[in-house]
Amino acid sequence: MPAANSSQIQRQINGYLDHLLVERGLAKNSMSAYRRDLARYQEFLVSRGIAEFPGVTANEISEFLISLRLGSDQHPALAPSSAARTLIAVRGLHAFLAKEGITTSDSARAVKPPAVSKRLPKALTFAEIERLLAAVGAGSDSDVSVLMMRDHALLELLYGTGARISELTDLRLDDVSTLSKELPILRLKGKGNKERLVPVGSHALRALERYLVRSRPVLSGKSTSSSALFLNARGSKLSRQSAWTILQAAAQRADLAGKVSPHTMRHSFATHLLENGADVRVVQELLGHASVTTTQIYTLVTVDQLREVYATAHPRAQAR
């Protein structure tokens, strides 16, 4: 195929990517995924001799979906969830092309993604959460190092707010300057720079206050240039990778190795709220989910636990 054909498709894909970045404000990681998925789609179209998007039909898009599941010499086969994610990028592209008048219709609209089984998030029990938090600086100030005070504040906030690990490591000192017992509300910036307000519980607030008073001044003395809330041992901003390492070390000390990731804490936050009667839409707001459908997977966890309790506790549920 002449290079001009490929470049025409590329220009229109680039136009859609610019739309996602500028108009919708997609996060860096999401943009990378869209770029990768659409590059594979472009490769497929070029291999079929398709010169322009108006020539693409639902049949070609269905064949592309099949190729994702089967794989090729150049690409491994994708799981249903990954194939569905790629198709979402393709469907978004075609909807954009139709809206812009580049195509007369949305040929991808009729193509449905493969069914993806819902996986239940792995949540820790509250007893395990307490064990984990006790492993990072929950003792008296005289027994705890400045780094353990930092780690304790970080993990208390991680569980107490349901934040993503990157949302906490991106916090600046100014973001918590107005926190108080009277107004314990934290402003978090999530995916696509969308902000949300999340209450901070008393345990997390105390751990944060101790870190700010007794730990951070010691760490910041090594480097006065950083305005980040959480600092490393050199006084610079704590990285997401270092925060992950802190969590893993705490899990090891709490005998929870292999069971804990930053997302485990987020899952546990949501699950424990729902178990104690929180409305799913409130949890949606706290987690920063764009759709309540994303949050509803946590309700499957609580229903499963209810079923287990019923099976073991109700006299007519047990086999005789």
Residues marked active site are found at 164, 191, 263, 266, 289, 298
Is 68:77 a contact under the CB 8 Å cutoff?
yes
**Exposure string over 46-85, b if 16+ CB within 10 A, otherwise e:** eeeebeebeebeeebbeebbebbeeeeeeeeebeeebbbb
* Cα distance between the two ends of the chain: 72
User: CA-CA distance, 295 to 147, in Å (whole number)?
Assistant: 34
User: CA-CA distance, 59 to 261, in Å (whole number)?
Assistant: 41
Bridge partners (DSSP) listed for residue 186? 198
- DSSP class of residue 236 equals S
Phi-psi domain of 12 (left: phi exceeds 0; alpha: psi -120 through 50; beta: other)? alpha
Please choose, from the candidates 239, 156, 243, the residue with its C-alpha nearest in 3D space to the C-alpha of residue 202: 156
